[in-house]
Structure 1
Amino acid sequence: MPAAFFVVRAIVPDAGKRAAFDKWYETEHLPDAMETFGVSRASRFWSLDDPSLHVAMYQFDDEARLAAMLEGDALQKLVVDFNRDWPDVKRSRETLVLAQEVST
């Protein structure tokens, strides 16, 4: 089964808050999310085209594990914590399945 991904896009509109958001995500939210989701791999990105755009990507072993996380209560506590700490940051979520991976 191919890997599946949970992707969270966040817009941090206030440039003055981006460093604090980055630190919080690095030291608190990402480790909490990895443990809560039961994933061993996650990545974060800041857009070079839109400095307000932050993307986090969590890799699941397969679609079934991703679906189980989405159907359970694991995500809700993280959402509550995020909304408490960053109420002005709007987010969207996507789920993806790996179609191809190439390396040299």
Structure 2
Amino acid sequence: MATPGCMLVLAEVKPELWADFNRWYSDIHMPEAVKRLRARKALRLVDRSTPCRHIAIYYFDDMEQFESETIRSELEALVREFNDQWREGVARERRFVDIIDEHVPVADL
């Protein structure tokens, strides 16, 4: 049975880079990452208490497929592209998590 999960990307962006980073991530990087990593969907969040703290969540239907050689090589390429674009001013980390429970509201009958 497939195990759904997510890749979380947590980034601290220098304030003077925020506008350019935000535009680049939304217009170029995230759409490309969704396509190349075969994510089901992705969300971007901003920490309300620290506006230059960026959080991206990429959803995958099957973490085993995500961990395949092909997808891992795409992730490595995306990381290199990110590093080329943002050599300094953006500190980040990635976390990989399994979804163990999900609830959606049930409409009242």
State if a TM-score over 0.5 links the two structures.
Answer: yes
Gaps of 5+ in 2: none
1:50, CA displacement in angstroms? 1.5
> Identical aligned pairs, as a percentage?
28
Aligned-CA RMSD value = 1.7
The question of whether the paired residues in 2 share the 8 Å contact of 1:5 and 1:66 is answered with no
Gaps of 5+ in 1: none
Q: 1:76 is matched with which residue?
A: 76
Q: 2:6 is matched with which residue?
A: 5
Q: Matches of 2:94 and 2:10 in 1, distance apart?
A: 6
Which consecutive aligned stretches of 4+ in structure 1 deviate over 2 angstroms post-superposition?
69-72
Q: 2:54 is matched with which residue?
A: 54
1:70, CA displacement in angstroms? 8.3
Structure 2 residue 87 is the aligned partner of structure 1 residue 93 = no
Change (3 A) 1:33 1:60: same
The question of whether the paired residues in 1 share the 8 Å contact of 2:3 and 2:64 is answered with no
Which amino acid is the alignment partner of residue 8 of structure 1?
V
Q: What TM-score do the two structures reach when normalised by structure 2?
A: 0.85
Equivalent pairs counted in the alignment come to 103
